[in-house]
Amino acid sequence: MRRRISIVLLTASCLAAGCEIKRVEYRTRPAWMSIMGGDRPTVTVREDGTEVHWIEDRSRELQGFEQTIGGQQVRIRTDHDDGSVELHTVLPMHLVVNLLECLRRSEYRVIYDQLISSEQRAWYRAQGDGGYDEFLSWFQRNRKDIATLLNRMHAGKVFGEVVISTGEQYGTVGLHPSVAYDFKLNGINVVREDGEWLLSGIY
């Protein structure tokens, strides 16, 4: 409410001075815009001259990262004060949630260090230059398709649109055939290492 009053007062003072009246709106930027990447200007102007000031949506950053599994509280993402990030993927869907959040924040190094399998990391390192550059190039190139897949899996889980098939160590998490045909990518391959489900491929 304070913000709206300040805008009205500013407009009134400009009117008294013979200035042009300007309409300003403050809107929260939808989370999906951040996931897709690209340029995200803080201010846009509509055809009628209205200035729209965008505010990043931070309300969901702490939502969905704490779950109870077998009576035990598990936090799948922790952002430490020093800027470091600690991820846990006890269940295959935890990997989907963490991958999606890391893409939203462009945390490619976190994905490389914590969310891909040791075999995948070894493969990238075999390509030379420490491996990370090759990984980064591929993920950035395919970011939109990967984010679209993960977003749909995250949203479609409650509607039975996700098929999770896992054994003791290996498995897949993918879209149900009834919706998969509409997507360039259909799912992810996962592998369990030290009690955590990690990414071993995307198909």
Q: What is the rounded average pLDDT of the residues 158-175? A: 94
Q: Does residue 83 sit in the same domain as residue 147?
A: yes
Residues 11 and 109 in one domain: no
145 and 113 fall within a common domain:
yes
Whether residue 145 has pLDDT greater than 50: yes
> Do 72 and 118 have their domain in common?
yes
Adjacent-strand bridge partners of 116: 199
6: number of Cβ within 10 Å? 11
- Count Cα neighbours of 166 within 13 Å in the Cβ-side half-sphere: 18
Cβ–Cβ < 8 Å for 64, 58: no
- Report how many domains make up the chain: 2
Examine residue 185 and state whether it is found in any structural domain, yes or no: yes
Q: What is the pLDDT of residue 20?
A: 65
Residues 105 and 161 in one domain: yes
Residue 48 shares a structural domain with residue 73: no
- Mean pLDDT across the stretch 49-74? 64
Domain-ending residue, one of 14, 31, 56: 56
Q: Same domain for 103 and 175?
A: yes
Range of the domain at 164: 66-202
> What is the C-alpha to C-alpha distance for residues 121 and 77, in angstroms, rounded to an integer?
21
pLDDT confidence bin for 2, thresholds 50/70/90 = very low
Q: Both tokens of residue 89? A: 């993927």
Which tokens belong to 21? 């009246």
3-state per-residue secondary structure call for 41-79: CCEEECCCCCEEEEEECCCCCCCCCEEEECCEEEECEEE
Average pLDDT over residues 172-198: 96
* Triad 200, 175, 124: Cα angle to 5°: 20
Query: Residue 69's pLDDT band (boundaries 50, 70, 90)?
Result: low
Asked if residue 168 belongs to a domain, the reply is: yes
Q: What is the pLDDT of residue 12?
A: 46
22 within some domain: yes
Q: Are residues 81 and 45 in the same domain?
A: no
